[in-house]
Amino acid sequence: MATDPSSRSMGTVAMRWHGDSLELLDQRLLPSEEHWITAEGASGVAQCITDMVVRGAPAIGISAAYGVALAARHAGVGEWHSEINQAIRELAKSRPTAVNLFWALERMEQVFNSCDSLDDATKRLAAEAVRIHEEDLAANLAMADHALNVINAQQPISVLTHCNTGALATGGYGTALGVIRRLHEARLLERVYADETRPWLQGSRLTAWELSRDNIPVTLNADGAAAAIMASGKVKWVIVGADRITANGDVANKIGTYSLAVLARHHKVGFMVVAPSSTVDMSLASGLDIPIEERDGLEVREIRGIPLAPKGVDVFNPVFDMTPASLIDAIVTEKGVIQNPDITGMRVLFS
C-alpha cells in the first residue's frame, strides 16, 4: 500500500487512507465532536460526499478517487469491469458543482480503461488515488508561494475569508487558508476575519476551529458584518477558494462570495481566488454555464433540529454563487497567477 499522504499534511486532516478503507472526518459534527466515518466501498464514499461529511472541492475529488479504488478492491472477479463503471457513475452524481469531482473521476477512469485484469485495476487505481492526493498537497504549497508574491506585504496585514478552504477542504494545508497559513509562517499576518458562512456555518464550525487549533489569530464575524469590517480599513485582502472557474475567469464558490467581491471592489480591498488547476473548467465559456446546486430548505429553517423559521416557509438555498471575473483581482493556481482575469489570461495559463 502506498503511504497515506495525510501523514504529511499540515494542520488537521479531512481523510485517512488505509488501502482497504477510507476514513473521513465527519465535518457536520465539528467543532463539538471529532468523529471519523469509515467508508469501505464506493457507495459509502458517495453518500459521505452527498451528506457533506466531506466537503470542499479538492477534498471531494480526492475522496471520490479513493472511492473508485475501493470499488476495484471489492469488485467480483467476473463482473469487475461493470461494477467499477457503476461506482464511477454513482460517485459522479454525489455533487453537481465541484468540477474537481469530475476531474478526479476522469483521471481514475483513464487508468481503469487501460487495466487488463482486476488485480491490475486494484493496484493501479489505488496508486492513482494516492497520486491525486499527493499532487493536491503539493499544489497547495505552490499556490501559497505564488499568492505571497502577489500580496507583497511589507508588514503584517489582516485578511477576510469565507467558508472553509483549509486542510479540512483539501488534501492538506489548504487553498485560500493555505495562503493565510503562509502569511502567518512569514510573520506577515495580523489577523484573519472569518465569515460564519450560513447556512452550514463552515466559517464558524470549521475555519475558526482549524485556525484556533493552529494558533493563527482569528476573529469570527457574522456574514453581514463583512461590509463594516472592510469599511473600517482593517483588511487589505479578501481571500477565498473556488468550486469551479470558467474559461473567462468567472468563479463559482460558496454562496456569499459574490457579495464579498462587490464589497471589496467598493472599499478598494483586494479580492483573490485561490484554487488548484483541477478547479478550472475551460469547457464552460462563463459562469452563466455553471450548474448551481440547490439544497433542501430545511438547512436554512433549522440548525441540528432547532427551528429558526416558520415551519414550511419557502426557502431559497443555493450552495454557490457566481462571481464575475471583472470583480476579481487575482486567480492563483499552482500553475501561476492570472491578474485581472479574462479569457485571454485564462487561455495563456490553461490553453
**What's the DSSP call for residue 50?**
H
Is domain 141-350 classified as CATH 3.40.50.10470? yes
CB within 8 Å of 95: residues ≥ 6 apart: 49, 50, 60, 101, 293
The pTM (predicted TM-score) of the whole model is 0.88
Instruction: Name the residue ranges covered by the structural domains of the chain.
Output: 5-138, 141-350
Across the range 239-252, mean pLDDT stands at 97
Q: Which of 195, 243, 250, 329 is catalytic?
A: 243
pLDDT, tens digit, 9 for 90 and up, residues 246-276? 999 999 999 999 999 999 999 999 999 999 9
- In the residue annotation, 250 being an active-site residue is answered as no
Q: What average pLDDT does this structure show over 307-321?
A: 95
Distant-in-sequence, close-in-space partners of 112: CB < 8 Å, separation ≥ 6: 68, 72, 84, 85, 88, 121, 125
First to last CA, the chain: 36
User: Tens of pLDDT along 11-66?
Assistant: 678 999 999 999 999 999 999 999 999 998 999 999 999 999 998 888 999 999 99
Q: Which of 3.40.50.150, 1.20.120.420, 1.10.10.10, 1.10.1670.10 would CATH assign to domain 5-138? A: 1.20.120.420
Read off the pLDDT of residues 280-289 as tens digits, 9 standing for 90 and up: 999 999 999 9
Residue 1 has pLDDT above 50, yes or no: no
Distances, alpha carbon 137 to alpha carbons 24, 169, 234, in Å? 17, 11, 31
